[in-house]
Structure 1
Amino acid sequence: MAYILAAIAGVLNMLQSGSNATLNERLGAGSVVPALVVYLVGILGVLAAAPFIGRPADGLLRHAGTVPWWGWIGGLLGAFYVVVTLTQAKAMGAGPFTAVTLTAAIVTSLVLDHFGLLGFEVHPASALRLLGGALMVAGVVLVARF
């Protein structure tokens, strides 16, 4: 089930890029409003899903001190991604944009796994994993250039 949900998230991530870029185009490029709309709708979506994804925030303050610094910046990292999709996805095209972002994610994931960074379990960068990363980079060149 986890792999199915991850695949759906990947599809939705690409759809989000087009949706965000269209929102930016229609509401006014260069404005902060499209990004605020993206997050407002996202907050409403999380609130609607809340009964299905876990318990309320009981004990939140009790556990806040145990969260490492990188646990607090996910929203900021997501905001950067949203701003980039708002401003760059349509200009680059869906294929190249997805190829570049996905390849960057794959290469980053190899580093995170190899060194066990940000709380991930250690999974050494084997020759086959590195070959897979290299093939992703080659794929980006093919998608972006042809």
Structure 2
Amino acid sequence: MILLYGAVLIAGIANAIQPGQTTQLAKSLGEPFTAGLISMFVGTLGMFTIGLISGHLTVPSAQQASQAPWWAWIGGLVGVGLLIAQLFVAQRVGAAPFLAILVTAGVVTSIALDHFGLVGFEVHAAGPMRLVGGGLMIAGVMLVALS
């Protein structure tokens, strides 16, 4: 389990760094959407390469594809929304408020997703500790974003 938490820690660090990388590319190229497209292409190429190397890249069968709920197919669009926010918002509000709001919104949303078992997550009740934790994160965002 400690290795899994370590992987999430690294992903969190990457999540803080990526908006700066993407907006710097946009500044250098002079066009945010071009930079966003390049970022998504490099990410796609990375996933393709890792999938090939690991041997876990397959083409789904028609039956497998038809079993996925409709909303499972639009996860990439959610990623596009995040990328657009990075390109047009992160530099204006700053790295700390951007990531504080991003992570806190994710945690609060995740509490609801877990509680109701939405989008494929198993039910984990939103008990008092989770609710207090979400509230403390909201208070933390206010301290970071309003200072």
TM-score normalised over the length of structure 2? 0.92
How many residues get paired?
Answer: 145
Match of 1:28 in 2: 30
The verdict on how the C-alpha distance between 1:144 and 1:125 changes in structure 2, with shifts beyond 3 A counting, is same
Q: Does 1:91 align with 2:125?
A: no
Flag structure 1 segments of 5+ consecutive residues without an equivalent: none
Q: What's 2:16 paired with?
A: 14
Task: Give the whole-Å Cα distance in 2 for the aligned partners of 1:100 and 1:59.
Answer: 36
Q: Which runs of 5+ in 2 are unaligned?
A: none
Which residue identity does 2:125 align to in structure 1? P
Q: Secondary structure at the match of 1:73?
A: helix
Normalization by structure 1: what TM-score?
0.93
Map residues 1-146 of structure 1 onto 2, 5 A cutoff. 1-29=3-31, 31-146=32-147
Deviation (angstroms), 1:59: 3.9
8 Å contact from structure 2 (residues 96, 145) kept in 1: yes
Structure 2: distance between partners of 1:53 and 1:123: 32
Indicate the RMSD between aligned Cα atoms, in angstroms: 1.4
> Contact between 1:112 and 1:120, CA under 8 Å: does it hold in 2?
yes
Q: Give the CA deviation at 1:92.
A: 0.7
SS state at 2:40 partner: helix
Residues 127 and 80 (structure 1 numbering): CA distance in 2 closer, same or farther, change over 3 Å? same
Amino acid at match of 2:68: V
Structure 2: how far apart are the matches of 1:50 and 1:60? 17
